[in-house]
């Protein structure tokens, strides 16, 4: 019986399955389990989101816009920071324990049947996708906002036939699975664009744009592109976020406060507005846009934590994400920045560090709780090549690295506090920090500077 299992016990059972990093290009397992469940993913409309970075933040913005417009929403994002339940949202709230347990029970029974007939059992990710789609149907959502796990074409989430596909900027990441160039990666991501759907694209390089255009033509989808069909008109950084104006597909939304920082989040917001308009088939109510974006949060993405020094958690794990992080940091008041960095061994660690170097004074190299984490000594060796030996320190884990960074960031004699603590390199790194830091400020609380 699984109906009375604790969340921890369910998570442990899920973790015994194939990890998210072990992939096979097949939808057979997820298709079979969804069929046994009665294809719950066909009982609501869908907005499917892919891209190299920004998927979770954009999903949360789309969710907020639709909820403020009166829709009952489901949201599937990954990975999680501290609890697997975070991946599934119902009506803008993390799925409750009872509903999560019910979804696991329903999917688990059918997964056993599928596992018995397949060469490989359902993976951790396939199970959580099936659970989310079942939970959305049980909760009678109107629309599901779904973030791709990796790529698109072979991603388990792709059993949903979404009315709207969103393709955020495509850059190099997961090249061992998705291909060595942005064009080959775009081929995989374009697989979420379904016949007759609306495809919303961020600004892309020419090679990526050509792939998306070809896919849209081949399946009879309507492709709308940022800069041509909708656009970010202007943005101004302010305390607590930024004020943006967006020309959407059906209307103009002026002077909207966005409770997220950085130019990249303003661009993501423009895509989110276009996606919500495409799903609604009309202009959104300006009050709903302001209500949704004014309260949206994206944990672990330029996530500000109070204290002295101020702490910022950011899950940037590739050079493209680190570049956006650096841009956001430069909008704060000038200060000394002490970075705690832990990354996965299969990532472009040197590329991330080179992006951070101009704005980071000191790096504490450590490891996160994932077995895939690069060893602190190896990370430090790479960091010394980028930053020089004097700016590099080493710690055993994220918690001790944060304490070491706090000590290093102590105010200089005779000077007022002027330091910022940054924790970055991976979602797992941010999750580890999240467990030892105080919670974030109430929505709308301002950043200094």
The position carrying tokens 């055993």 is 396
pLDDT per residue rounded down to tens, the chain (449 residues): 456 788 888 988 888 887 766 667 789 999 999 999 999 999 999 999 999 888 999 999 999 999 999 999 999 999 888 889 999 999 999 999 999 999 999 999 999 999 999 888 899 999 999 999 999 999 999 999 999 998 888 999 999 999 999 999 988 655 455 666 888 889 999 999 999 999 999 999 999 999 999 999 999 999 999 999 999 999 999 988 999 999 999 999 999 999 999 899 999 999 999 999 999 999 999 999 999 999 998 888 888 887 788 899 999 999 988 998 998 898 876 789 999 999 999 899 999 999 999 999 999 999 999 999 999 999 999 999 999 999 999 999 999 999 999 999 987 776 666 889 999 999 999 999 999 887 654 433 333 33
**Prediction pTM value:** 0.89
Give the C-alpha distances (Å, rounded to integers) separating 314 from 53, 240, 386, 429, 433: 12, 16, 20, 9, 10
182-186: Cβ within 8 A, 24+ apart:
182/207, 182/208, 183/207, 183/208, 183/210, 183/211, 185/52, 185/151, 186/211, 186/212
- Tell me how far apart the alpha carbons of residues 11 and 9 are, in angstroms, rounded to a whole number: 5
Any idea which residue has 């941010």 for tokens?
Answer: 430
Burial class (CB in 10 A: 0-12, 13-18, 19+), 179: middle
| Structural domains in the chain, sorted by start | 7-295 (3.40.1190.10), 303-436 (3.90.190.20)
Distance CA 271, CA 223 (A): 12
């Amino acid at each position: 019986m699984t109906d009375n299992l604790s969340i921890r016990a369910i998570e442990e059972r899920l973790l015994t399955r194939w990890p998210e990093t072990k992939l096979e290009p097949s939808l057979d397992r997820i298709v079979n389990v969804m069929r046994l469940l009665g294809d719950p993913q066909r009982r609501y409309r869908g907005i499917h989101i892919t891209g190299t970075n920004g998927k979770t933040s954009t999903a949360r913005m789309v969710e907020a816009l639709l909820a403020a417009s009166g829709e009952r929403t489901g949201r599937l994002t990954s990975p999680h920071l501290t609890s697997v339940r975070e991946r599934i949202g119902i009506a803008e709230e993390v799925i409750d324990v009872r509903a999560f347990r019910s979804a696991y029970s329903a999917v688990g029974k059918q997964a056993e049947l599928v596992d018995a007939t397949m060469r490989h059992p359902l993976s951790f990710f396939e199970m959580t996708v099936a659970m989310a789609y079942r939970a959305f149907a049980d909760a009678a959502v109107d629309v599901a906002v779904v973030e791709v796990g990796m790529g698109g074409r072979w991603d388990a989430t792709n059993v949903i036939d979404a009315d709207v596909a969103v393709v955020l900027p495509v850059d190099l990441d997961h090249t061992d699975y998705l291909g060595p160039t942005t064009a080959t990666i775009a081929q995989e991501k374009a697989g979420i664009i379904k016949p007759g759907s609306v495809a919303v694209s961020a600004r892309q390089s020419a090679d990526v744009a050509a792939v998306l255009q070809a896919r849209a033509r081949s399946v009879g989808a309507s492709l709308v592109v940022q800069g041509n069909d909708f656009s970010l008109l202007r943005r101004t950084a302010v305390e607590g976020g930024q004020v943006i104006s967006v020309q959407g597909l059906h209307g103009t939304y002026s002077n909207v406060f966005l409770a997220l920082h950085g130019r990249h989040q303003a661009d993501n917001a423009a895509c989110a507005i276009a996606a919500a308009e495409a799903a609604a088939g009309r202009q959104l109510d300006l009050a709903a846009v302001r209500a949704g974006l004014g309260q949206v949060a994206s944990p672990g993405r330029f996530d500000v934590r109070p204290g002295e020094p101020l702490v910022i958690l950011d899950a940037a794990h590739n050079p493209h994400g680190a570049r956006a992080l650096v841009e956001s940091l430069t909008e704060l008041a000038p200060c000394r920045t002490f970075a705690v960095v832990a990354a996965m061994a299969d990532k472009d660690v040197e590329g991330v560090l080179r992006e951070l170097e101009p704005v980071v004074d000191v790096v504490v190299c450590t490891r996160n709780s994932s077995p895939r984490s690069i060893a602190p000594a190896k990370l430090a060796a790479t960091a010394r090549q980028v930053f020089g030996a004097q700016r590099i320190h080493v710690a055993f884990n994220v918690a001790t690295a944060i304490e070491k960074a706090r000590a290093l960031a102590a105010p200089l004699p005779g000077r007022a506090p002027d330091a910022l603590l940054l924790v970055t390199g991976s979602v797992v790194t941010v999750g580890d920090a999240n467990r030892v830091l105080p919670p974030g400020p109430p929505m709308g609380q301002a950043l200094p500077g």
